[in-house]
Amino acid sequence: MPARHPTTTPGGRRSAPTAMTRNQNLLDPGFELTLRPMRYPDFYERYRDAIKNTWTVEEVDLHSDVADLAKLSPAEQHLIGRLVAFFATGDSIVANNLVLTLYKHINSPEARLYLSRQLFEEAVHVQFYLTLLDTYLPDPEDRAAAFAAVENIPSIREKAEFCFKWIDSVDRIDRLETRADRRRFLLNLICFAACIEGLFFYGAFAYVYWFRSRGLLHGLATGTNWVFRDETMHMSFAFEVVDTVRKEEPELFDDQLQQEVTDMLREAVAAELQFARDLCGDGLPGMNTDSMRQYLECVADQRLTRLGFAPVYGSENPFSFMELQGVQELTNFFERRPSAYQVAVEGTVDLDEDF
């Protein structure tokens, strides 16, 4: 099938993209440019919905958090320090994969519109976490240590290495020509949706909402509310891409892929559990390594179920403060659109409402 991508003329200059047939699959190589006739209207609607949910870091008031930080025990301060250190680089890793992998290989102008919007949202998240670190860690040396966490904190380095493994797995693939190439791309996409955005960040959100349930760090919770909504929409888009590829190329979704995805999620749970041991130590009131393990297993099962694969853990969510934050509501969320905050909305968002 001819691909729509620039070619090189005898004189060495790049020519315009060549025409391509309109019956290609989503992962066929090329660079489709034409939005009409629209082949994947759902991706376009997701882009439009994301535009409605614009927020800015300036809307988040972190002033009250400074007084709350002084009230925390040394163990709680350690937890917060590790958490913001993870935030310092987590979304940057996701943004890099968007640019280097997803935008490159998902051949749909509608999908690329959404990915462009997602990249903007990841930038807002990075700005939020930068502001968070500047507020929570006024000492420049403490901030520098947080930004160097990938190199210096083993539990964070393990999570970063997990991410880099899946980035590197498709880094040298220019075009998804073979079934093996497309399988590796699917594993990358599923990793970043289900494991990184859908497990690592959801684990981080649980710590934030644990503090909020105790009346602490409301500024952090407010910003996290909006990050949470964005990340859930990112997962929903990625899973819709997976669904589309499953319809177009069902032969890719065999027992081998299911086993690879299951093993991947087990590895992600193990890495996040190591992070939990670092954060929780001997345990805190209402938050400990065992309860976080149950929570992570529950989330992992949700991701596997959404992907059409069998769950493996059978654990229930132990955190009552997370029940309406997206774990038990996640499946229904994919049938809806978040609309609790939109452009120019003021104040905070109450995620205790069903959405």
pLDDT, tens digit (0-9, with 9 covering 90-100), for 194-209? 999 999 999 999 999 9
The CATH number of residue 287's host domain is 1.10.620.20
Please classify residue 269 by burial: count the beta carbons closer than 10 Å to its beta carbon, then call 0-12 exposed, 13-18 middle and 19+ buried: buried
Q: What is the pLDDT of residues 103-120, one digit of tens each?
A: 999 999 999 999 999 999
Provide the number of structural domains found in the chain.
1
Check: CB of residue 44 under 8 Å from CB of residue 38.
Answer: yes
Residue 57 covered by a domain: no
Kindly state whether residue 349 falls inside one of the protein's structural domains.
Answer: no
The residues assigned a catalytic role are 129
Instruction: Please state the pTM of the whole predicted model.
Output: 0.85
Task: Work out the pLDDT band at 166, boundaries 50, 70, 90.
Answer: confident
Q: Indicate whether 329 pLDDT > 70.
A: no
- Average pLDDT over every residue of 262-272: 97
Distances (CA, A) of 120 to 64, 85, 320: 28, 22, 32
Residue 61 lies in a domain: no
Q: For 165-181, what is the mean pLDDT?
A: 89
Query: Does residue 278 carry a pLDDT above 70?
Result: yes
Predicted local distance difference test score (pLDDT) of residue 331: 35
Q: What confidence score (pLDDT) does residue 333 get?
A: 35
Report yes or no on 93 lying in a domain: yes
Give domain status of residue 253, yes or no.
yes
- Domain assignment of residue 294, given as a range: 66-333
**Nearest-angstrom CA–CA distance, 171 and 188:** 10
Mean pLDDT of the chain: 86
Return the top range by mean pLDDT from 3-7, 226-230, 350-354. Answer: 226-230
Whether residue 78 lies inside any domain: the answer is yes
Number of residues that this document lists for the chain: 355
pLDDT digits (tens, 9 = 90+) for 131-154: 999 999 988 998 898 889 999 999
Confidence of residue 220 (pLDDT cuts 50, 70, 90): very high
